[in-house]
Amino acid sequence: MISSSIGGYLAGRLRSRWIGVHADEVYFRDTAHGFLAWAFATVLGAVLLASPATTVLSGATSGVSAGATASAAQAGPVEGFIDALLRPSTPSGDGNSADARGELSRIMASSLRAGELKPADRAYVNKVVAARTGLSEPDADKRVTEVTNDAKAAADNARKAAMQLAFWLTASLLIGAFSASLAATEGGGLRDGTWKARRTR
């Protein structure tokens, strides 16, 4: 709000004086100057903030191995159905393999989108957890329930945080636009010497 006000004030104060223009038109032009100063600063700030993020993401992506990149590119909505087709009836205890962890990751991701694990997926996950950890089926089911509930809670918290961030970002942008426009009218009034007259009306 402060930076938008300063930018708007400078936009109004540094403009050239308009001769023979109606006071209402001057007021409108000053408001437009402040709004345009705010819009330019907002776009410029977004570009400057996006540049480091793009650089970081491109650097991180370039460091990923070719095999991991290829497997990530292959992962898609069809992969979950392929997993269901090729699912063994008795999973092995090698839960650290990339295939097993990738399959469980896809199952958990789809369950978070759907809201609940499908019965067939839940039974399979219970078997994998039991085979990997040596737990009994009921204990494995209990662990799957706890982890699934924790994952849902984390996803809900992330969604709420994103909603709050979007709300406050929108509110701050609107307040910044209003502050810049108002400050530009004040700066223009001071520039023209009409600020006191406008205040006394």
Mean pLDDT of the chain: 75
pLDDT computed for residue 58 by the predictor: 56
- Residue 96 pLDDT greater than 70, yes or no: no
Q: Higher confidence at residue 52 or residue 81?
A: 52
Task: Give the model's pLDDT for residue 164.
Answer: 92
Select, from the ranges 16-20, 21-25, 170-174, the one with the highest average predicted confidence (pLDDT).
170-174
Query: Mind listing the pLDDT tens digit for each residue in 108-132?
Result: 777 777 777 788 888 888 888 888 7
pLDDT on residue 72: 45
The 10 Å Cβ neighbour count of residue 192 is 19
Q: Which residues contact 23 (CB under 8 A, 6 or more apart)?
A: 194
Q: Which residues of 156-185 are buried (b: 16+ CB within 10 A; e: fewer)?
A: eeeeeeeeeeeeeeeeeeeebbbbbbbbbb
**Main-chain dihedrals φ then ψ at residue 200, nearest 5 degrees:** -80, -10
As a whole-number percent, the residues of the chain with pLDDT over 70 amount to 73
Candidates 20, 43, 41; CA nearest to 183 is 41
Q: What is the pLDDT of residue 177?
A: 92
Per-residue model confidence as pLDDT tens digits over 34-78: 999 989 988 888 888 777 656 655 554 454 444 444 444 455 555
Q: Calculate the CA dihedral of residues 144, 147, 151, 152 and round it to 10 degrees.
A: 60
- Rounded CA-CA distance 14/118 in Å is 65
State how far the Cα of 155 lies from the Cα of 176, in Å rounded to an integer: 31
Q: What pLDDT score does 65 carry?
A: 42
Model pLDDT, residue 188: 84
pLDDT of residue 175: 92
